[in-house]
Amino acid sequence: MTTIMSGFNTSCSRSVKIHVKVPKKLIEQINNSQSTLNTNLNTCMKNYEKVETELNNSKMELQEILRRFYNDLERQKNETKAHVTRNRDMMWHIHSLIFLGIGEVFVTFVCGYICVVIKINALKRHLGNDGLSLKPNDMVTKQINSYQKVKGAGSLTRSLAVICFNETRIAFYRDLMGDITSGMETEYHRVSKKEDILHINSKIVVIFVERNDRHIILESEHEIGDLKVSCVRYIQQNGGHVIVVYCGHKESDNMGDLLCSPSLTSADRHRELRALKDDSCFLSIHKTFSQTQKNHLKTKLKKYIDSK
């Protein structure tokens, strides 16, 4: 570009020198135009160089951006791969710990069971076979049986007793049985533990059982406790007679001539209770006896008292 300008200047100078008759004013205009052209050319060159520099910078920036992008992409890929590997290793460790814990619990249980069995066997050898066979209730039952042997079967007196298991209900039962036992010598007992059974001396016993949600009237072998059924067995094994009355049962209202509600199906599944029901010695009431039940009780009690 500089060479072109030099040639142009020389050409113009020659032109001016050759045409000496050209007006001076025109020569000045040509020189001014040449200066303006030179200035514009220099400005264009500077702008070109500036644009070229900016393009180069932009290119470099774009290359840097692309390089960072690919680096970030590669790093994320590696991090994802490492994260997956770390999670897999973590899950493997967790599963290992779980299985190890289960194994430890199982081994501890087995060892504990073996130790308990060994100790029980050693204690049995030390105390004898009967040393560990009696539970507290069984011990009382054995005491009752021993007491029966001392007294002898049939040693109960020919009197009437009303048994309940809640002391606060004795007054209610006394009112309930008032008309029925009129003229009969009657004792009222509250049984709260098996030892109390030994104090029953009457041969004819009416046992009142309060309603419960499961309708457990007399306990079975799989129930907790056996106080009520032990009371029944004690009387029967000593030659006595038992009548069981289940109280507070709403469905026993308005039963007509029935003695107990048909809805009490548990009575049919219990050995002693089924035998009492078959002998018409099981009654169910809500709050009071029906006239049929009163007449039946009077007849039953008189029959038992008069029997030899």
Q: Where are the domains of the chain?
A: 1-130, 136-306
Residue 135's pLDDT is what? Answer: 44
| SS3 label, residue 202 | strand
Residue 144's pLDDT is what? Answer: 58
Residue 134's pLDDT is what? Answer: 37
CA distance 121 to 203: 44
Residue 124's pLDDT is what? Answer: 56
Structure tokens at 291: 């006239």
Residue 20's pLDDT is what? Answer: 53
Structure tokens at 256: 């007509």
CA distance 246 to 210: 6
CA distance 151 to 148: 5
> Is the whole-model pTM more than 0.75?
no
Helices 227-237 and 271-278 cross at an angle (nearest 10°) of 50
Residue 176's pLDDT is what? Answer: 95
Residue 21's pLDDT is what? Answer: 63
Q: Per-10-residue mean pLDDT for the chain, 308 residues long?
A: 48 49 78 86 87 88 88 86 84 85 86 82 53 43 53 68 93 94 92 92 95 86 86 94 96 93 91 95 96 96 86
Task: Among 3.30.70.2190, 3.40.1710.10, 3.10.20.30, 3.40.50.10140, name the CATH number for the domain at 136-306.
Answer: 3.40.50.10140
Residue 200's pLDDT is what? Answer: 92
CA distance 55 to 246: 106
* Core vs surface per residue 179-202: b (16+ CB within 10 A) or e: ebbeeeebebbebeebeebeebeb
